[in-house]
Amino acid sequence: MKDQYRLIEFNLNGKDVACMVDCRASLTDMLRNDFRLTSVKKGCEVGECGACNVIIDGECYNSCIYLAVWVRGKHVRTLEGLMGPNGELSDIQQAFIDETAVQCGFCTPGFIMSAVEILESGKLYTRDELRKLLSGHLCRCTGYENILNAVEKTMKKRLGVV
Amino acid sequence: MYDMKELYEAFSVQEAIELRLAHPEAQIIAGGSDVLVQMREGKRAGKELISIYLIDELRGVSLDEDGAIRIGSLTSFSHITKDPIIRRYINVLGEAVDLVGGPQIRNIGTIGGNTCNGVTSADSASTLHAWEALVELTGPSGKRLVPIKAFYLKASTVDIREGEIQTAILIPKESYENTFGAYYKYAMRNAMDIATTGCSVNVRLSPDKQTFDRVRIAYGVAGPVPMRAPSAEALIQGKPLTMENAEAFSLEVLKDIHPRDSWRAPKAFRQHIAVEMAKRCLIEAANRCGGEIK
């Protein structure tokens, strides 16, 4: 293969970065191996479980079925980007803890990034709508109810709805 | 890492055509939610890929001068669902593609990829058949338009010729004017599942809203490729909006469709739900036209 490694520049969690990446790499591969962002989990690797979910230009994508070279010029956000300046958790992460929406934790970063897209839309969704918006994630521990509670409560808190 | 031999990247339609001519054996990849998964499964392992995903000129929905709705082939499902032109003129297409996979899949999956992979279960395909969409292909000698029915040659094979890529899906004005549709997807679960059978119906009523002026119906997974049900369409044309006619219409589809037994569902079950879906979609589409089935 000629030019197997390609230079790509993009914005990662608010910082402009550059990387010589193997063009055969998935975005999951690059984020984990080149940037050590291990919140991006390798789950099914065929776009079904949502554990590798990241936000690209404001929309959620399963990074396991996304070529690393496709992020050229884009803004990529992972769970690590939610951390406050002194290492604080964001409100949605705290809500997952408070609602016991985390057990083994493997699916959590993916769920939280979908929740971030939902919360940042500024819309008030019904429980059924939230269920549909989170349907691209599998969780084998919680039975989903606590996850829905965490997202719903944070959404209502941010919107000032009781 | 994906097991690929080579990745060629196109950033314009012209570059894609040149790459297609230079590497005729290479597989085109749009969003990759089929191609990359198949590569992981080993089916397309070791192949060359031509990535067209970064050709931004192929994104978005617009109206052509003749009133046709133009959907760029790389427009994602989620963008189709949200698009104001789609919502106004052919809302059922937005509803149908909103049932594909899950949210992340609808952000990466493209309508071009959904049609070019040639599968019968594609949620967009039955609606595009029912609305007589045209497929625009661009190649070394320019553009050509193919009716969607002719575009599907056989299961997993579509009419893309040497050097070509699909650049748009068009819905002619005559097809969508005063017409409303409904789509029903039957699957085992609400998300992340492929249709056991899908049905798309659209209706244009007479000006007094008493009779069916034009009804078109198409199925996914009722045969090897998406298909219309012409006998049922002919039967209901010009008939008044009665439940009796709706039932006759739905039973008539059995003359046209030929589903098979598969691990997902037996043939008899698919026939059963195909009849029920036809009736429900017809009633819903008629209601959306402002008509009432008596």
CATH number of A147's domain:
1.10.150.120
Same domain, A12 and A67: yes
Q: Which two tokens stand for residue A78?
A: 């992972």
Whether A132 sits inside 8 A of B192 (CB atoms) is: no
A29 neighbourhood in chain B, CB within 8 Å: 1
Specify the long-range contacts of residues B256-264, CB closer than 8 Å, at least 24 apart: B256/B227, B256/B228, B256/B229, B256/B230, B256/B231, B256/B232, B257/B219, B257/B222, B257/B223, B257/B227, B257/B229, B258/B222, B258/B223, B259/B197, B259/B221, B259/B222, B259/B223, B264/B188, B264/B194, B264/B196
Q: Report if residue A115 sits inside a domain.
A: yes
Least Cα separation, residue A54 to chain B (angstroms): 9
Proportion of chain A in helix, strand, coil states, percent, rounded to 5: 40, 20, 45
Least Cα separation, residue B99 to chain A (angstroms): 10
Q: Report if residue A59 sits inside a domain.
A: yes
Q: Which two tokens stand for residue B167?
A: 């650049």
Same domain, A96 and A76: no
Does A49 touch chain B if contact means CB atoms closer than 8 Å? no
Same domain, A95 and A73: no
Task: Look up the domain containing A153 and give its range.
Answer: 91-159
Same domain, A73 and A119: no
pTM for the structure as a whole: 0.97
**Among the listed residues A129, A123, A131, A133, the one whose alpha carbon sits nearest the alpha carbon of residue A155:** A123
Q: Report if residue A86 sits inside a domain.
A: no
Instruction: Flag whether the ipTM exceeds 0.85.
Output: yes
Averaged pLDDT score across all residues of chain B: 97
A23 neighbourhood in chain B, CB within 8 Å: 7
Domain with CATH 3.30.390.50 in chain B: 177-288
Q: Which residues of A91-119 are buried (b: 16+ CB within 10 A; e: fewer)?
A: bbbebbeebebbeeebbbbbbbbbbbbbb
Same domain, A99 and A134: yes
Collect all residues with Cβ–Cβ distance below 8 Å to B124 and sequence separation of at least 6.
Answer: B77, B93, B96, B97, B100, B111, B114, B115
Nearest to B4 among A24, A66, A136 (CB): A24
What counts of helices (H) and strands (E) characterise chain A? 5, 5
Whether B7 sits inside 8 A of A69 (CB atoms) is: yes
Distance from C-alpha of B240 to C-alpha of B244, rounded to nearest angstrom: 10
Question: Is the pLDDT score of A131 beyond 80?
Answer: yes
Whether B7 sits inside 8 A of A135 (CB atoms) is: no
Tell me what the mean pLDDT of segment B176-194 comes to: 96
Distance from C-alpha of B59 to C-alpha of A95, rounded to nearest angstrom: 37
Mapped onto helix, strand or coil, the DSSP state of residue A138 is: coil
Domain with CATH 3.30.465.10 in chain B: 60-174
Which pLDDT belongs to residue A76?
A: 98
Same domain, A70 and A102: no
Same domain, A33 and A55: yes
Q: Which CATH architecture has domain B177-288?
A: 2-Layer Sandwich (3.30)
Q: What is the tens place of the pLDDT at every residue in B99-154?
A: 999 999 999 999 999 999 999 999 999 999 999 999 999 999 999 999 999 999 99
Q: Name the domain count of chain A.
A: 2
Q: What is the tens place of the pLDDT at every residue in B66-113?
A: 999 999 999 999 999 999 999 999 999 999 999 999 999 999 999 999
A2 pLDDT tier (thresholds 50, 70, 90):
confident
Same domain, A110 and A74: no
Question: Is the pLDDT score of A110 beyond 80?
Answer: yes
Same domain, A9 and A74: yes
Domain B60-174, CATH: 3.30.465.10
A149 pLDDT tier (thresholds 50, 70, 90):
very high
B167 pLDDT tier (thresholds 50, 70, 90):
very high
SS3 assignment for chain B: CCCEEEEEECCCHHHHHHHHHHCCCCEEECCCCCHHHHHHHCCCCCEEEEECCCCHHHCCEEECCCCCEEEECCCEHHHHHHCHHHHHHCHHHHHHHCCCCCHHHHHHCEHHHHHHCCCCCCHHHHHHHHCCCEEEEEECCEEEEEEHHHHEEECCEECCCCCCEEEEEEECHHHHCCCEEEEEEECCCCCCCCCCEEEEEEEEECCCCCEEEEEEEEEECCCCCCEECHHHHHHHCCCECCHHHHHHHHHHHHHCCCCCCCCCCCHHHHHHHHHHHHHHHHHHHHHHCCCCCC
Q: Tell me the residues of B at the A interface, defined by beta carbons under 8 Å apart.
A: 1-7, 9, 29, 32-33, 36-37, 40-41, 51, 53-54, 78, 101-105, 107-108, 190-192
